[in-house]
Amino acid sequence: MCLPTPLGPNKTPDLSFIRNATQDLKKYLRKNQLIILESTTYPGTTQELLVDELKRQFKVGKDFFIGYSPERIDPGRAISQNAVPKLVSGYSQQCLRLVKLFYSQCFETVSVSNLKTAEITKLFENIYRSVNIGLVNEMKIICDKLDINIHEVINAAKTKPYGFKAFYPGPGLGGHCVPIDPFYLSWKVKSMGINTRFIELAGEINSKMPSWIVEKIQEIFNQKKIALSQSKILLMGLSYKKNINDLRESPSIEIYKLLKKYKSKIDICDSYCNPKEIKKLFGSAKLFVNNKNIKYSKYSGVVIATDHDNFDYNKILKESKIVIDTRGRLLGQKSSKIFFI
């Protein structure tokens, strides 16, 4: 079972997809089956929604088996199937044995002692990324104020062979996992009287990055004596990360909305995302599905929000008046047209 686990109102977990699927599955369940949940969720979900629900029909661990094994995919990254071990757990030792047997046909497996440990491990993996991205985004804001290149700082720091892992700043977080999963844990432990201040602060920093980006765009345009309200901007890249078609929680959406509030005229370009999905989120904005026929010179500025590999960056740099790079894609290029934010 690999189902969406979005956030509902007030950043509370929405487990309706798992609940509904479990009810639908009941019509087809029989003894000696194995059900494995792969959805990212808070510790205790597999017990509450599967074990407690199905143990009325079966002796779980004896004549029916339940496990949890979170997905660990990285969209857009081409890696070997066996490069990422599969984390496995089970309600009982027999459940664990069967879950491990199932996945070991295709993956290296790593066993943990119980369902809750596997559930919180997946959350920890994503919270680790969220917190470190929040840290580097805050460092980007600090370095900007001090007139320091954050990318030079990162490249220097990562020469240290221990104690440092490089994370890179951007216009904010997107996707289904990293912006959302930390709130699953904070929601769960608040009922136990624990406040997740560190986790929530990282989420707050990351969620504010699009507004900071737009403020910097306004500063740059002011320097060039361009009124944002009279500007024409090309927003390059709409998905939350490069070379994929996923628009969920993409910072490009918020950047677009904020620029629209300033009454900028905005065109958009993305060759990966579904045009119908783009229209739902970006309304009547003119869409270029490739960058071959774009006349960059007619725009006040070009904003690289997501740095897809199939963009012609040489052409962008040659023809544009201003290029605002939120991803560090043009690092190493020497041009007065480029502004890194």
Retrieve residue 5's tokens: 């686990």
Distance CA 166, CA 282 (A): 33
Q: 152 lies in which domain range?
A: 120-206
* CATH number of the domain enclosing 318: 3.40.50.720
Give the 3-state secondary structure percentages of the chain, helix then strand then coil, rounded to 5.
40, 10, 45
Residue ending a domain, choose from 165, 185, 206: 206
- Residues 125 and 199 grouped into a single domain: yes
- Residues 14 and 109 grouped into a single domain: yes
Residue ending a domain, choose from 67, 97, 118: 118
pTM, two decimals, is 0.90
Retrieve residue 315's tokens: 């052409």
Do the domain assignments include residue 28?
yes
pLDDT at position 182, please? 83
Counted domains in the chain: 3
Q: Which amino acid is at 299?
A: Y
Distance CA 333, CA 13 (A): 44
Distance CA 257, CA 131 (A): 25
DSSP E strand stretches across the chain: 34-37, 65-68, 86-90, 109-111, 232-236, 265-269, 287-288, 301-304, 323-325, 338-340
Identify whether the C-beta of residue 170 lies closer than 8 Å to the C-beta of residue 327.
yes
Residue ending a domain, choose from 118, 137, 160: 118
Establish whether 177 is a catalytic residue: yes
Residues with Cβ within 8 Å of 142's Cβ and at least 6 positions away in sequence, in order, are none
156: enclosing H helix or E strand:
helix 150-157
- Residues 85 and 109 grouped into a single domain: yes
- Residues 18 and 71 grouped into a single domain: yes
Distance CA 305, CA 171 (A): 7
| Per-residue pLDDT of the chain in tens (341 residues, 90 and over written 9) | 999 999 888 888 999 999 999 999 999 999 999 999 999 999 999 999 999 999 988 999 999 999 999 998 887 777 777 788 999 999 999 999 999 999 999 999 999 999 999 999 999 999 999 999 999 999 999 999 999 999 999 999 999 999 999 999 999 988 777 778 888 888 889 888 998 898 889 989 999 999 999 999 999 999 999 999 999 999 999 999 999 999 999 999 999 999 999 999 999 999 999 999 999 999 989 999 988 889 999 999 999 999 999 999 999 999 999 999 999 999 999 899 999 99
Do the domain assignments include residue 3?
no
Sheet strands side by side (includes 34-37): 34-37, 65-68, 86-90, 109-111
- Residues 234 and 315 grouped into a single domain: yes
- Residues 174 and 56 grouped into a single domain: no
In terms of DSSP bridges, do strands 86-90 and 65-68 run parallel, antiparallel, or are they unpaired?
antiparallel
* CATH number of the domain enclosing 143: 1.10.1040.10
Catalytic residue among 2, 106, 143, 177: 177
- Residues 213 and 331 grouped into a single domain: yes
Identify whether the C-beta of residue 121 lies closer than 8 Å to the C-beta of residue 46.
no
- Residues 237 and 314 grouped into a single domain: yes
- Residues 154 and 240 grouped into a single domain: no
Do the domain assignments include residue 63?
yes
Distance CA 275, CA 264 (A): 22
Identify whether the C-beta of residue 185 lies closer than 8 Å to the C-beta of residue 199.
yes
Do the domain assignments include residue 1?
no
- Residues 134 and 242 grouped into a single domain: no
